[in-house]
Amino acid sequence: MIQLEAIRKDYQRRGQILTAFACESQQIEDGEYVAIVGPSGSGKTTLLSMLGGMLSPTTGRVLVDGISLYEHSVAERSAIRGQKMGFVFQSFNLIPYLSALQNVQVPLSFTTTSASEQLERATEMLTQLGLAERLHHKPSELSVGQQQRVALARTLVNDPQIILADEPTGNLDPTSREVVLEIFEQCHQQGRTLVVVTHDPSVAQRATRRLTLVDGMLVRAEDASSNASPQVAAA
Amino acid sequence: MNLRSIIWHELKSRPAGVAFNSLTIFLGVAALVAIRHVTVHSEQAVSKQLTNLGANILVLPKEATLQDYYAADQNGGTLPEEYVAEIFLSGLSGVEQVSPRLNVSTELGGHPVAVTGILPQSEVDSLAAWQATTMFMNAADTGCCTKANVATSDDLKAPEALVKHRAIQDLDKTALVLGADIAQKLNCQVNDRLKLQDEDFTVIGVLPVTGTVDDGRVFAHLHSIQRLWEKDSTCNAIEIVGCCEDAAGSLVPQLRELLPEAKVVTISQVVETQVGVNELMAKTSWIVLAVMILVGGAGLAGSIASNVRERRREIGTLMALGATPGFIQKLFLGKAFILGLCAGSIGCLVGVSAAIIAGPVWAGVAITPLVGTSLLAIFAATVVALVAAWWPAHGAARLDPCICFREV
Amino acid sequence: MKTITQLALAFACLLSVHNVSFAQADAGAALAQAQQAGQFTFLVFYKDNSPQTQKMLQVVQQGVAGHAQQATLATVSMATPAGQALAEKFQVSRAPMPMTVAVAPNGAVTGLFSRQVAKANIDAAIVPPVMMDCMKQLQDQKLVFVCLTTSEQAAVPAGVRALQLDPTFKDRMALIGLNVLDTSEARLMQQLKVDVAQVQGPYAALIAPPGVLVGHFTATSTAQQIGAAIHKAGKCCDDPNCKHAQNAQASQSNATRR
């Protein structure tokens, strides 16, 4: 479970303090599929970074499974991320000089997983995503859809409980997009928690809950089944 | 997949960049190792020469330089051979040997050679002994180094004495002694016959390898060389061996007074000159090291910093995927370590090879690899690389991981 | 009057130069003849008739004139083959010229004077018989034991006799007797640093080639002591790097003959 407690993230620009994100309280239950929507600059990525333990809030706490992330050191937060979280990026962020197989092994290399097990798990993951023939291809030798599948394999190879995705379909064609969303569906069904930042209403539609951000404020939270229920978090 | 394989794959992906990044370190190490090799071997050669020459004094023509003497250059001017007798007749104490030398160039079997005319000691011994006896019977105290001939020394009997004692007891006017290199080039052995200026000579000895210019010289009787090359009674240099350093030192002013038309220098001056050159080279090698540290280090620091900038998204992604700041720092330090080690090793190899090839030409010394120096150079290169990469690597470890979300 | 004197002197000089400027036909023969006659020969080697040559000839001639019974002069031109050969024999063919070589009747070279010579040099080169013998033996690389006596018969110290049996030294030793009362040998005694009063019983002074006073030995000196003194004389100074220090040690442990 992810909990946000009195979170606020301020930036200082030319002597002015700008609030990038503020939220009194928010909770994301285990197994939830949450879409974060909102216009550009509304604080979606800031929220996702804070959830991922990569951006410390100015005030407030982020708790993941009861652990207050920002009360731990940077290195400890990295370890927590490695254990509990997986990231999906809009530009896939594959390492260009590594093959698909090696890219997928990267998160495992930060753990104590042996080389043979790394290889086995990465191969299995890529095979599941239909990339058995592309194991040794470099990202530049793969199509955009294939690259995103490699990125998804890399996200899932650690078997993370939480998946944080930033515009996962932003650069994809409709077919590839569908593949990614189906994988997200499967992850959701497997009981993982998904937090997806998106502009795309059709992607947000697939989530069980949608959080709408405007100017760093959570202006609306709505379940997939219900209509909009305004909820304003005090800044 | 682990830290090492990530570093290795990254390096492999941009070989040209890697080569360029390490170029300064490579060149620095190569130059440093080459200079150090030549310096060390040159020092050893000087020390060997010093041991061989003992308490030595050189009498040279006023216009000649030590370089002329070492290069067996006959253009450095001449001295009258009568200076030899003059030195003996002056009755200076402490004079052990007086060896005039005359150098000429010729071709033997298609090879250019320096022929050095030398005077066997037997031809000046009696003169020296007579003078010493008459001096004893007439003169007062002769000062330092009045010693008795109480034992026979066979030191100068064999032709090899030329190497160790710079003189030979007996040398026939048709005899030749060959340096090791020239004997090998001419494929000559003892008792072989050679022609000098159309006159027959017999090889009576081949000198052992000395690692000096003497290896390429042919030695013959001074008077034969004077006659064949029409040099009258002249020579290019006179080597005087004093019995000890003190004697050599005190002989110099007396010789200068006796031979005002000549230049009189002690071997210590020769050595000082050589040592001066060596010290200069040693200093140069430290300057090269300093340049390597500054330029190579700065260059590498710059390229690692640039590499960090290029890979910011990758660093952010790795952090998002669970990499700790320590891992990121090691990623760049590891790269620098490999660059330093490889550039140092290859530079060392090239430097040693260059020294082996160029050493005999530049400094007239044979070079053998110095393991300690080579390892030290590699170690220095690696340390320089690590120190240079420390700051950019530290910066990489402190990068904001959120950068992974930014679109490029 | 002054002018007349100067002219007379100049004429005398010209005459004397004329007299000596001719090289003798065979200086070698003259040398042999003089030696047979027990005379010292002053061989004047010269290349040309330079003023330096003339000056040397003049000085030698005057010097020899003062010892007419004991000495003779022979001039040797380096321009002649015979002169060259004689110069080679005395190893002065490449010495600075002019050059005077004083040769004793016994063949010892008692003086070598290059470029210039003084009358005192000529006088000093005519040495008394014992000194002449000593010089000859030294030039033959012998260890010369000058046995000193106050009588006609010189006694040899026992240690010296014992040393004569030592294979290291026996072929290199020469014994020469000297009566310390013989005033003609005063110069030799001065060089040998002999105190006449101390010469009581067997007493020998040892000179080693080319001309080093090794020491004085009496009846009580043993062969070992004399041997040790000889070896010590082979060391010329206290410099540990001095080659004679090493040679002397070597000769002590593995003595060889010259």
Write out the H or E segment, with its range, that includes residue A16.
strand A16-28
CA dist B130 and B126 (Å) reads 6
A49, A91, A93 ranked by CB distance to B402: nearest: A49
CA of B125 vs chain C CAs: smallest distance (Å): 9
Q: Please check whether residue A50 lies inside any domain of the structure.
A: yes
Range of the domain at A55: 2-223
Residue A234 belongs to some domain of the structure: no
| Nearest-neighbour CA in chain B from C129: distance (Å) | 13
A93 neighbourhood in chain B, CB within 8 Å: 313-314, 316-317, 320, 404
- B317·A74 Cβ contact <8 A: no
CA distance A226 to chain B (A): 31
Give the ipTM: 0.88
What are the pLDDT digits (tens) for C50-100? 999 999 999 999 999 988 888 999 999 988 888 888 888 888 888 888 999
Interface contact B324-A158, CB threshold 8 A: no
Residue A44 lies in a domain: yes
Contact yes or no for C94 and B54 at CB 8 A: no
- Nearest chain C residue to B127 by CA: give it: C91
Q: Measure the CA–CA gap between B97 and B84, rounded to whole angstroms.
A: 10
Q: How far is CA B28 from the centre of its chain?
A: 21
Please report residues of C whose CB lies closer than 8 A to that of B126.
Answer: 91, 139
DSSP letter at B294 equals I
List all residues 6 or more positions away from C182 whose beta carbon is below 8 Å from its beta carbon.
C128, C130
> How confident is the model at residue A230, as a pLDDT?
40
> Which residue ranges of chain B lie beneath pLDDT 70?
47-55, 65-76, 137-157, 161-166, 211, 243-249, 267-275, 363, 406-408
Cβ count near B341 (within 10 Å)? 18
Q: Which residue of A has its CA nearest to B398?
A: A74
Q: Supply the pLDDT for residue B19.
A: 82
Domains of chain A: total: 1
Residues of C in contact with B244 (CB under 8 A): 236-237, 239, 241-244
Residue A198 lies in a domain: yes
CB atoms B147 and C236 under 8 Å? yes
C248 and B54 in contact by Cβ < 8 A? no
User: Within a domain: residue A41?
Assistant: yes
**Nearest residue on chain B to A114, alpha-carbon basis:** B1
Residue A230 lies in a domain: no
Out of C92, C207, C251, name the one closest to residue B151 (CB): C251
Residue A57 domain flag: yes
Give the whole-angstrom CA distance, residue A71 versus residue B155.
87
The CA-CA-CA angle for residues A10, A11, A12, to 5°, reads 125
What CA–CA distance (Å, rounded) separates B203 from B226?
A: 19
Which amino acid, one-letter code, is at B92?
Answer: L
Residue at A229 is within a domain? no
Distance from CA of C12 to the nearest CA of B (A): 32
Which among B347, B354, B343, B363 is positioned nearest to B282, based on CA atoms? Answer: B363
B202 contact C CB<8A? no
Amino acid type, B305 = A
Residue C108 pLDDT more than 80?
A: yes
Query: Per residue of chain A (235 residues), what is the pLDDT tens digit?
Result: 889 888 898 988 888 888 888 888 888 988 999 999 988 888 888 888 899 888 889 999 999 988 898 898 888 988 888 888 998 888 888 999 999 999 999 999 888 889 999 999 999 999 988 888 989 999 999 988 899 889 999 998 988 999 999 888 887 888 888 888 898 999 999 999 999 998 888 888 889 999 998 888 888 767 655 544 444 333 3
User: Which residues are within 8 A (CB) of B188 and not within 5 positions of it... i.e. 6 or more apart?
Assistant: B178, B182, B194, B203, B206
Give B116→chain C minimum CA distance, Å. 18
CATH number at residue A49: 3.40.50.300
What is the distance between the alpha carbons of residues B400 and B276, in angstroms, rounded to a whole number?
56
Query: In terms of pTM, does the model score above 0.80?
Result: no
Q: Rounded CA gap, C22 and B159, in Å?
A: 44
User: Does B126 contact C135 at a Cβ distance shorter than 8 Å?
Assistant: no
**Nearest by CB: C208 against B55, B134, B149:** B149
* Chain B interface disruption, residue of A97, A156, A158, most B CBs within 10 A: A97
Closest CB to B123: pick one of C91, C210, C235: C91
Residues of B in contact with C114 (CB under 8 A): 85-86, 89
| B314 and A CB contact within 8 Å | yes
Give the integer Cα–Cα distance in Å for C20 and C75.
Answer: 8
What is chain C's length? 258
Cβ contact A–C (≥3 pairs, < 8 Å): no
Q: Show the tokens assigned to B202.
A: 């017999």
